[in-house]
Amino acid sequence: MRLATTTSPPRTPADDDRSLAQDAARGDRRAFDRLVSRYLDRTLRICLRLVGNLEDAEDTVQETFARAHARLSSFAGRSTFGTWITSIALRLCADLERARKSRRRHVGELPHDFDLDRDARAPRSANPSLQSEQRETVRDVEAALARLPRRLRVALTLRTIEGLEYEEVARAMGTTIRSARLYVWEARQRLARELDPEAPP
């Protein structure tokens, strides 16, 4: 007689992250290093788009993971580790933006400009004039994105550029899924108007 066997459900990436976070909280540095390597690039891309220059973005990412490491015991697993990291990074980016505005008010500092060619992934072409046109298009999109209100810029970056699900966007931003959807919709509408002011509403 063959005994019935039970199989455990397959582990998901979220389960793996949770397990690594628990190990890291117990002092396993290699576990935390694996989490860092898993989410470092995405976190840097998000920070770069929000703060606008590589040096500040790298500093923000370093502080993000330092804070995460110090607060591992508070990671309850209600969201994915990646969403938790993103929420920390968003708060730090907001702090930096507020500090910049304060400095500009007090000393008249000009805002940081985006280095628009830095992380552009425009297709390469053998035609120099086409390359120039592609770079100009990327500049226009990045500049229009930078002019959006912060909540819209964050939502669009997380959903459209980084491909997070709306639930993840909502958790990272500390809002509802409905609000996250509305932010992305409004961001797309405003971005389209920025890029083509003569287009019908």
Q: What tens digit of pLDDT does each residue of 110-163 get?
A: 444 444 344 434 444 455 555 566 666 667 778 888 888 999 999 999 998 889
The total of other beta-carbon atoms located within 10 Å of residue 181's CB is: 15
**Closest of 12, 38, 11 to residue 24, by C-alpha:** 38
Predicted pLDDT of residue 143:
82
Residue-range domains of the chain with CATH: 11-111 (1.10.1740.10), 125-201 (1.10.10.10)
Q: How far apart are CA 119 and CA 178, in angstroms?
A: 31
The residue type found at 176 is T
**Closest of 131, 142, 178 to residue 45, by C-alpha:** 142
Predicted pLDDT of residue 173:
93
The vertex-87 CA angle with 98 and 94, nearest 5°, equals 5
Predicted pLDDT of residue 13:
65
Contact 110, 104 (CB under 8 A): yes
Mean pLDDT estimate for the chain: 79
Report if pTM > 0.75.
no
Does the pLDDT at position 14 exceed 50?
yes
Residue whose tokens read 């607060």: 71
